[in-house]
Amino acid sequence: MSDLSNYRKSYEKSELLETTIPEDPINLFNKWFHEVEELGDGRDEVNAMSVATIGLDGFPKTRVVLLKKFNEEGFIFYTNYDSEKGKAILNNPNVCLSFFWQGMERQVIIKGKAQKVASNISDNYFDSRPEGSKLGAIVSDQSHVIPSRVFLEQNLKQLETQYKGKEINRPEHWGGFLVVPVSVEFWQGRANRLHDRIRYQLQDNYLWKIDRLAP
């Protein structure tokens, strides 16, 4: 067994104070996102996030996906609706998104309810993807058991021949989810483990209640 008790790091890059934050968490998320994007070294995907769901088997499961859009409505990502993730969300729309930006010593944790985006939004995004990504979405029976890697690659070659010179339309089982936030927590690493944690919670009047949490 590995003993990790001596792993230590002092977080001292920034601070998060009530006197300098906006009333809306989306504005603060936008600020943090672009700060990480500008100060990053290009090795990490700033829009990579964990999506946690409650599966049909009753167990939670977390996986990393890519955020593709965010605005005042919420956060959008795309997936196969027939995948394990898609089925879990359609059965229980309560999800959690998590961003960890190590270089800036920051985390953002978003609790919200997921819903399918409009078909035209999914169509527009699908049309913007490279041809290989479009065919990949069609060929992959995501989360289902397949016999081998060769099986997958052979099916892709068949699709490449089938769609050569033709328009590739979005399959109905593939599209976007919009996560509408009800709680957004911002975590900024600080020295001596006295981290800053600021939580926004949506109220019945659609205003955000702001609280500081103990680290």
pTM: 0.90
In a domain, 104, yes or no: yes
**Which CATH number covers residue 29?**
2.30.110.10
Q: Domain residues for 199?
A: 18-129+174-212
Residues marked active site are found at 193
End-to-end Cα separation, the chain, in angstroms: 28
Q: How far is CA 4 from CA 8, 29, 93, in A?
A: 9, 32, 36
Per-residue pLDDT reduced to its tens digit, 168-195: 999 999 999 999 999 999 999 998 889 9
Per-residue pLDDT reduced to its tens digit, 78-106: 999 999 999 999 999 999 999 999 999 99
In a domain, 139, yes or no: no
In a domain, 13, yes or no: no
Structurally, how many domains does the chain consist of? 1
